[in-house]
Chains A and B, each alone.
Chain A
């Protein structure tokens, strides 16, 4: 522990002073915007309403936060300690997290169904299971681009949109089935990835980030305005549902329930969708894990660590980046097609920049390159806000118009800043070397020097 090295590690008075100063600064800065709220009155004139309690609450939060930071001495370390390699036992334990989690994911809908019945389990499987798994899949898809190849893509949602609209348009216009459209959506998204990626992948990392963001926004604006094809802001509705190998999830005699002799219930379709997105997500991670062992995967990781070194060793960096971009886009497209078939409705408002930022936050907070971390971060960010939504006692404390989901992105923003400052490699920062002599050992991510490029 670093704290034992410094005997006077915790100076109570200094921490209190420090926290008080931070609280005063926070209160002073946010005084006008926090304590006075501009609200239109009956004549639609803006009037100011004092709201001093908010100011005190904010100051108190800053005070407590700052004090806790000092208390636990969470200070950023510029230089990583050299003996930070994890013990081998921790690595062996970590090995079982993956299979155990996988088993849990497979059992989850059936267990919930058995416990709560068709009515009660619907919410859990749909709002939590499917919703989280979509983001897990998007996070894993983006992880190929950001985590493996080290390209910051701020427009990932564009490919999600391409996938969703591909399925929506192909199925409503040409009547193609979901199973045919799913690969098509992936191929189209990958194609768009190549098309957009080709001109920009020569750019430096931060320029690339901005240009991908611009592309993401362009695609959304086109979706809004090209009403002839996309129906504009209203979106495309009544998208056909997916069938179970030709058996539709309807109450009729040819439906899924009747064929298997079950009593019809909408929960069948939801459970089916759950397993579908689970399989898609597992496909993503399977491909990623296998690719990491191929020369191309190693080249990606080398590219992330040092692009100039890669180029001088004769790797075709543009081709490598394009491959990562297209592959990430393809999984985004799959997820998009799934999104369309689950909702039965797509509109441009589902594909805003904030969606890209959320997916990126999942990857960053989970640890770029770490599959488990990304899955955990998705569960926390997406599931956490769903749980907050249901906590009724919060409404009793803060009033009926208290909407915790508003605070989700606020917290995500703070978490991103803190993560970059304190654990720039994310929550799960260990890395297993792709090849190793003798026993494989996970090493702390802090030991891996990251290059500039």
Chain B
């Protein structure tokens, strides 16, 4: 029971990170029907940006207040990563709308290869171990002989930041003119354009929002694991994509739900079956979902029209 509780806590923290990345996949897919293969690497890039900003703030500028540093790093990483994704959309994807279907996917694959190798070349192949911060833990149950269930400050922070940002994001998509334009383009881009919505701008903003949430995930990932590597974009990216598919691609609540489910499945699988095969679990779920329930848990069925 204690092990179960501990894994539940770990799974929710991990799932929050996946959910944040999954939103980027699901929004882009919803609006232009493209699998943004490079999104996982955008996430990895943001973790590196966060790492460097963190080191710069603490070492060069000598800031000691960790919460302040955290907030500054978070905001700066969100802004920079958003700009990155804005430029990527402009350079690599915009011209490919209306090209044949696999062209954007191949371009995204190229972008993914570029980003991973760019970070690899400029920052080196080795793991970067971040100095541990927010190391305190809360003891949930502390039996003398029993298993010690702990809830670390980091986990609280991850779930808290995720919840706050998701609420803000939900407000933007549901209540603001920008969100309305975004949803309109998602339903029918041509019609939205006829009614005066700037489709190009809206799509660019979708990429920006997706990247900002991925940057939050990147900062939290760096904080949680304490290690970043240039190859770290691929597997979390695929898992987040799995989460988006599982929740129903195109559906925002679905992405969060899928993220939490994937996080829980991964931690429980590692705890009760085999940590070696935890990636196989995620990849298998991806295949099984796409084969049997391609519309996911909360998605609409995809009707192909001629």
| B contact residues around A415 at 8 Å (CB) | 110
Asked if B160 is an interface residue, CB under 8 A from chain A, the answer is: no
Asked if B99 is an interface residue, CB under 8 A from chain A, the answer is: yes
B283's contact among A46, A217, A412, by CB below 8 Å, is which? A217
| B contact residues around A48 at 8 Å (CB) | 52, 55-56, 59-60
Nearest Cβ in chain B — how far from A217, in angstroms?
Answer: 6
Nearest Cβ in chain B — how far from A353, in angstroms?
Answer: 7
| A contact residues around B84 at 8 Å (CB) | 29
With contact pairs A45-B131, A54-B122 given, residues A38 and B51 touching in the complex (Cβ less than 8 Å):
yes
Asked if B102 is an interface residue, CB under 8 A from chain A, the answer is: yes
**Pairwise interchain contact A47-B117, C-beta atoms closer than 8 A:** no
**Pairwise interchain contact B106-A364, C-beta atoms closer than 8 A:** yes
**Pairwise interchain contact A450-B100, C-beta atoms closer than 8 A:** yes
B114's contact among A46, A206, A413, A452, by CB below 8 Å, is which? A413
A32 to B277 CA separation, bound complex (whole angstroms)? 36
**Pairwise interchain contact A29-B117, C-beta atoms closer than 8 A:** no
With contact pairs A222-B280, A424-B99 given, residues A46 and B130 touching in the complex (Cβ less than 8 Å):
yes
**Pairwise interchain contact B60-A217, C-beta atoms closer than 8 A:** no
**Pairwise interchain contact B287-A409, C-beta atoms closer than 8 A:** no
| A contact residues around B283 at 8 Å (CB) | 214-215, 217-218, 221
Nearest Cβ in chain A — how far from B161, in angstroms?
Answer: 21
Asked if B166 is an interface residue, CB under 8 A from chain A, the answer is: no
Asked if A406 is an interface residue, CB under 8 A from chain B, the answer is: yes
| B contact residues around A329 at 8 Å (CB) | none
Asked if B49 is an interface residue, CB under 8 A from chain A, the answer is: yes
**Pairwise interchain contact B83-A29, C-beta atoms closer than 8 A:** yes
Nearest Cβ in chain A — how far from B110, in angstroms?
Answer: 3
Asked if A453 is an interface residue, CB under 8 A from chain B, the answer is: yes
| A contact residues around B128 at 8 Å (CB) | 38, 40, 46
Asked if A282 is an interface residue, CB under 8 A from chain B, the answer is: no
| A contact residues around B112 at 8 Å (CB) | 413
With contact pairs A32-B53, A205-B101, A218-B283 given, residues A210 and B241 touching in the complex (Cβ less than 8 Å):
yes
Interface string of A292-335 (1 = CB under 8 A from B): 00000000000000001000000000000000000000000000
Nearest Cβ in chain B — how far from A450, in angstroms?
Answer: 4
With contact pairs A36-B56, A210-B241, A417-B114 given, residues A203 and B98 touching in the complex (Cβ less than 8 Å):
no
The residue in chain A whose Cβ has the minimal distance to the Cβ of B77 is A32
**Pairwise interchain contact B98-A78, C-beta atoms closer than 8 A:** yes
**Pairwise interchain contact A416-B106, C-beta atoms closer than 8 A:** yes
**Pairwise interchain contact B122-A33, C-beta atoms closer than 8 A:** yes
A415 to B107 CA separation, bound complex (whole angstroms)? 9
Restricting to A172-221, which residues have a CB under 8 Å from any CB of B?
Answer: 199-200, 202-207, 209-211, 213-215, 217-218, 221
| A contact residues around B124 at 8 Å (CB) | 37, 39
Interface string of A148-186 (1 = CB under 8 A from B): 001010100000000000000000000000000000000
Asked if B63 is an interface residue, CB under 8 A from chain A, the answer is: no
| A contact residues around B238 at 8 Å (CB) | 210, 213-214, 217
Interface string of A73-98 (1 = CB under 8 A from B): 00010100000000000000000000
| A contact residues around B35 at 8 Å (CB) | 206, 209-210
**Pairwise interchain contact B95-A421, C-beta atoms closer than 8 A:** yes
**Pairwise interchain contact B103-A424, C-beta atoms closer than 8 A:** yes
A211's contact among B55, B115, B286, by CB below 8 Å, is which? B286
The residue in chain B whose Cβ has the minimal distance to the Cβ of A215 is B287
Asked if A44 is an interface residue, CB under 8 A from chain B, the answer is: yes
| A contact residues around B293 at 8 Å (CB) | none
Nearest Cβ in chain A — how far from B301, in angstroms?
Answer: 13
With contact pairs A206-B35, A221-B280 given, residues A406 and B113 touching in the complex (Cβ less than 8 Å):
no
**Pairwise interchain contact A357-B109, C-beta atoms closer than 8 A:** yes
What 5 new A-B contacts, CB under 8 Å, besides A38-B55, A364-B106?
A45-B131, A48-B60, A210-B238, A217-B279, A360-B106
Q: Could you list some 29 contacts between A and B, CB below 8 A?
A: A29-B87, A32-B56, A32-B80, A38-B123, A39-B124, A46-B128, A48-B60, A200-B291, A206-B101, A206-B105, A209-B102, A210-B35, A211-B286, A221-B276, A221-B279, A221-B283, A225-B276, A308-B306, A360-B109, A361-B113, A407-B117, A409-B117, A410-B113, A413-B113, A417-B92, A420-B96, A420-B99, A420-B104, A420-B106
Binding site for A on B (CB under 8 A): 34-35, 45, 48-49, 51-53, 55-56, 59-60, 80, 83-84, 87, 91-92, 95-96, 98-107, 109-124, 126, 128-131, 234, 238, 241, 274, 276-277, 279-280, 283-284, 286-287, 290-291, 294, 302, 304, 306
In the A-B complex, the 4 residue pairs with the closest CB atoms: A416-B110, A413-B114, A413-B113, A450-B100
